[in-house]
């Protein structure tokens, strides 16, 4: 038997991984922004510049990041009110510390929501503490005061996989990375370390990068311990559609248009002095280079007076208009609406925020995907838990002034007491959003009883 039985497997990548790897890199760089985005791969050369001009333009480039606010706003509205875990007793330890790093379940769900928005999906798994390289039994685990915990694996680290007819993973090859320096005696090893792990329903296998087996054992969970949490569920299998599927490319276009506009400003902002004749006619040749608004000079008799000419502003105006349209397009794509943001220019800031997300449906779908994935993994981590994760049903942002006017009109129609109470409770939620949750709930109950 070969000493590297998995050599072919570790060299292989799933076709969807190969197809999406370039986009995942773009999506992550677009979300993070900063210096990592300012690369020659994202900035395109135009036909009028040579390599030196392009290099100088790249040095001056800056990235107006619209991807990060879009993703973070989705996550913020999903978790305006934390989801409920029902019942919470059997999973109380995971609710308090889901990943053994002190992050509670809601915090981990927020990370999953953000990462799935960026990449389209994130792999949510369950892991178990090990002693001397071997997994503890459940009894030993509990006796030691330990518990199974949850992990998140980003798509670039999900190398290969296969799903069965029921949609469950039959096997998965994932990459585990450690980037922190390793202290080995008196030596510090700063190079990143990678290890591949192959999961099947029955076994786990740690592999070296050349396919050699490092460790192997029985899978304690009885199934491949991962589920996919998708942003949009548009195709069967593991992969979901990213929130940035189109927005990332539009934002890159804004990056390039902004760079070209900055090039025009750097090269053509100042008016140019032109004078008839040769430099010698104006005295010493160097004098003409010193001319400015605080100096004067004599020009030869019979010549036309020197004058300033202004650059053509139409090119810059064209770029500004196109950038403005691209920004509108990002808001349209983010809000999932068919109309234009320009139609909402007269709306209040809160109404604009609602238009930015458009409707509860997009958020409700994402909340459903999150709840389904975390329910499945909690059931695997804690087999005695068969509960539910419940998100709020209403993710909208209400303008209290407009809402109060609508409620006043509705009350004028003579609605019943229950309907009236629900309207007043909704108004209380909108107007008292800054109150602590417990106080706001008391006010809402009081309003609903009116």
CA pair distance 288, 160, nearest whole angstrom: 69
pLDDT at 147: 74
CA pair distance 441, 438, nearest whole angstrom: 5
Please, which pLDDT band fits residue 353 given cuts at 50, 70 and 90?
A: very low
Taking alpha carbons only, the member of 240, 254, 232 closest to residue 330 is 254
Residue 419 pLDDT > 90? no
CA pair distance 310, 291, nearest whole angstrom: 16
Q: What is the CA radius of gyration of the chain?
A: 30
Q: Where are the alpha helices (DSSP H) in 120-246?
A: 138-143
Please, which pLDDT band fits residue 338 given cuts at 50, 70 and 90?
A: very low
Please provide the average confidence, as pLDDT, over all residues in the chain: 81
pLDDT at 294: 56
pLDDT-wise least confident of 34-38, 174-178, 355-359, 439-443:
355-359
Residue 253 pLDDT > 60? yes
Compute CA distances 309 → 304, 419, 420, whole Å.
Answer: 14, 69, 69
Per-residue burial over 94-129, b if 16 or more Cβ lie within 10 Å, else e, is beebbbeeebebebbbbebbbbbbbbbbbbbbbbbe
Number of H helices, E strands in the chain: 14, 16
Phi, psi dihedral angles at 167 (to 5 degrees):
90, -10
Which whole number is the average pLDDT over 338-362?
48
Higher pLDDT, 384 or 358: 384
CA pair distance 197, 284, nearest whole angstrom: 77
Please, which pLDDT band fits residue 299 given cuts at 50, 70 and 90?
A: low
């Amino acid at each position: 038997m070969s000493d590297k039985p998995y050599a072919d497997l570790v060299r292989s990548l799933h076709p969807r991984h190969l197809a999406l790897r370039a986009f995942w890199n773009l999506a992550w760089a677009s979300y993070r922004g900063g210096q990592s985005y300012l690369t020659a791969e994202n900035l395109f050369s135009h036909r009028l510049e040579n390599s030196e001009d392009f290099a100088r333009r790249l040095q001056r480039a800056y990235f107006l990041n619209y991807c990060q606010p879009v993703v973070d706003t989705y996550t913020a509205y999903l978790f305006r009110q934390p989801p409920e875990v029902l019942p919470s007793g059997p999973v109380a330890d995971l609710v308090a510390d889901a990943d053994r790093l002190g992050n509670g379940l809601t915090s981990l769900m927020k990370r999953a929501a953000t990462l799935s928005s960026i990449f389209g999906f994130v792999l949510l798994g369950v892991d178990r503490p090990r002693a001397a390289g071997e997994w503890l039994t459940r009894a030993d685990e509990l006796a030691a005061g330990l518990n199974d915990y949850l992990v998140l694996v980003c798509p670039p680290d999900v190398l290969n996989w296969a799903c069965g007819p029921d949609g469950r993973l039959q096997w998965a090859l994932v990459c585990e990375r450690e980037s922190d320096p390793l202290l080995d005696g008196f030596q510090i090893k700063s190079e990143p370390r990678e290890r591949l792990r192959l999961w099947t329903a029955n076994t786990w296998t740690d592999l070296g990068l050349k396919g050699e087996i490092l460790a192997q054992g029985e899978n304690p969970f009885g199934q491949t311990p991962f589920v996919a949490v998708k942003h949009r569920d548009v195709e069967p299998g593991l992969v979901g559609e990213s929130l940035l599927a189109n927005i990332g490319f539009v934002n890159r276009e804004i990056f390039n248009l902004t760079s070209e506009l900055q090039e025009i400003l750097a090269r053509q902002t100042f008016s140019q002095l032109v004078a008839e004749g040769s430099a010698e006619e104006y005295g010493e040749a160097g004098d003409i280079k010193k001319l400015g608004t605080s100096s004067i000079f004599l020009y030869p008799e019979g010549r036309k007076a020197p004058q300033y000419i202004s650059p053509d502003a139409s090119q810059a105006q064209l770029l500004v208009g196109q950038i403005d349209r691209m920004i509108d397009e990002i808001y349209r794509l983010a809000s999932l609406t068919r109309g234009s943001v320009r139609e909402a220019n007269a709306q209040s800031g809160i109404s604009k925020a609602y238009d930015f997300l458009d409707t509860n449906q997009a958020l409700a779908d994402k909340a459903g995907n999150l709840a389904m994935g975390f329910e499945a993994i909690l059931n695997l981590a804690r087999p005695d838990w068969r509960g539910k994760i419940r998100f709020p049903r209403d993710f909208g942002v209400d303008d209290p002034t407009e809402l109060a006017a609508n409620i006043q009109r509705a009350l004028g129609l003579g609605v019943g007491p229950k309907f009236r109470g629900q309207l007043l409770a909704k108004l209380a939620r909108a107007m008292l959003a800054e109150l602590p949750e417990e106080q706001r709930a008391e006010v809402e109950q009081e309003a609903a009883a009116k």
